[in-house]
Amino acid sequence: MLRGVIRAWRYVDGRDGREEVDCPHIREAVDPENAVVWIDATSPEDEAALRSLKAELGLSATVVDAILNPRERTKLMRYGDYFHVAVHDCACVSDSVDSREIDIVTGPGWLVTVRHPSDNGSQVDLDEVARRFEMQRTEHHANEQGFLLWALFDVIVDRYFEVVDTIDERLDEIEEAVFRVPPPPGIPQSTFEVRRDLTTIRRAAAPMREVVNAIIRKEIDFVDEQAIVHFHDIYDRVLRVGDLVEAQRDLLTGLLEANLAVTSNQLNQVMKKMTSWGAILIVATLIAGIYGMNFRHMPELHWQYGYAMALGLMGISTFVLWRYFKRKNWL
């Protein structure tokens, strides 16, 4: 029933590489003293397969329900002699950050990963996880289960850094747009998309500190000291991701404020021009209004050169005011 939905591998002490395990016989392959069994599921919506896995490993109904409904916050929970870790993987696809839950259930001698599918098909590279795990096995000459958990976390955190780097490039593009001459009208739509993506990566990375810190405190008792040393590095890198995200959030806020300042400055320039032209034209309008009044005894009403004088007065006043505002750089 599990075949095609769940794959399993077995790492045996003293042997290089891994061997395939027939999924219906997972229980027989588990040997905490001599081997580590890694089970990976990529179709958690197949409830029958997970129920079968529950029977093979003795998982509780609570854990299976949590896997079938991937809406968990990043956390570490203990259930008897095994643990459930819910983490969130992130990847940039088509200029947007996609996040999906990865459920890790681990007990003495075995570890289950449930990678929930995403719309874009981006998933954690299991071959890279296996490569890092096997590298630690060779280096330390130990088939330590904690190294497998560390390799999963290490790859996930690497993907966080890839997301942060991509967002950093997008922030550079937004910065260029904000300070472009002439600046674009309004706020670039990408600004709000980056803000949403920063929120996504922050929600995924920030709670992981608590999970890694719990592992460092030896809450998972079958993760030994050799692996815990590597988790200290994971903790530092997760902190760095958090610091980078906060710095990018501050930069984005600064760019929004700068865009508002540039827009306000544009509006001030427009208002200066409108005010200047209004002041220039109001004098000519005043002169024309005075000479347009219908009074019999107005000065220069019957003067031969009155019309030319009025036009000349309006032209001179307009020119003088234009020169004045031009010197003040209002025009």
pLDDT at position 8: 86
One domain, residues 188 and 317? no
- Number of C-beta neighbours around residue 312 at 10 A: 11
The pLDDT tens digits for 146-187 are 899 999 999 999 999 999 999 998 888 888 887 776 766 656
Chain segment 63-113, per-residue pLDDT in tens: 888 887 777 788 898 888 889 999 999 888 777 888 888 999 988 888 999
For the segment 298-320, the average pLDDT, to the nearest whole number, is 80
Could you tell me if 90 and 228 lie in one domain? yes
Q: Can you tell me the distance from the alpha carbon of 176 to that of 189, in angstroms, rounded to the nearest whole number? A: 14
Identity of the residue numbered 187: I
Distance between CA atoms of 235 and 108, rounded to whole angstroms? 23
Q: Among 212, 231, 262, identify where a domain stops.
A: 262
Residues 86 and 72: their CA atoms lie apart, in Å, by 7
Per-residue pLDDT, averaged over 305-323, amounts to 84
User: Do 193 and 280 reside in the same domain of the chain?
Assistant: no
Rounded to the nearest angstrom, the gap between the alpha carbon of residue 171 and the centroid of all alpha carbons in its chain is 12
Q: What is the pLDDT of residue 120?
A: 63
Residue 246 and residue 331: Cα distance in Å, rounded?
Answer: 42
Q: For the ranges 19-28, 46-55, 171-180, 224-233, which has the lowest average pLDDT? A: 46-55
Residue 241: both structure tokens together = 């991701």
**75 found inside a domain:** yes
What is the pLDDT confidence band of residue 49, given thresholds at 50, 70 and 90? low
| Domain, as residue range, for 232 | 6-262
Q: Measure the CA angle with vertex 161, ends 157 and 164; round to 5°.
A: 135
- Indicate if 164 and 109 belong to the same structural domain: yes
Average pLDDT, the chain: 83
Query: Are residues 159 and 258 both part of a single domain?
Result: yes
Residues 258 and 295 in one domain: no
For residue 1, is pLDDT > 60? no
CB of 124 closer than 8 Å to CB of 190: no
Domain endpoint, select from 247, 262, 277: 262
Question: Do 270 and 221 belong to one domain?
Answer: no
Residue 1 lies in a domain: no
Where is the domain boundary, 244, 262, 280?
Answer: 262
Sheet holding 110-115, edge to edge: 19-20, 6-12, 35-41, 110-115, 96-107, 82-93, 75-79
Q: In terms of domains, do 32 and 155 share one?
A: yes
CA distance 90 to 208: 13
Q: Which of 181, 195, 193, 230 is nearest to 95 (CA)?
A: 193
Which of 11-20, 41-50, 302-311 is predicted with the least confidence, judged by mean pLDDT?
Answer: 41-50
Residues 246 and 218 occupy one common structural domain: yes
What is the residue-wise DSSP string for 101-170?
A: EEEEEEETTEEEEEE---TT-----HHHHHHHHHHHHHHHT---HHHHHHHHHHHHHHHHHHHHHHHHHH
Among 141-145, 211-215, 258-262, 299-303, the range scoring the smallest mean pLDDT is: 299-303
- If asked whether residues 144 and 271 sit together in one domain, one would say no
* pLDDT tens profile 214-240: 999 988 888 888 889 999 999 999 999
Total count of domains within the chain: 2
Clarify whether residues 150 and 293 are in a common domain: no
- State whether residue 323 is helix, strand or coil: helix
Do both 104 and 229 map to the same domain? yes
State CA 100 to chain mean position distance: 13
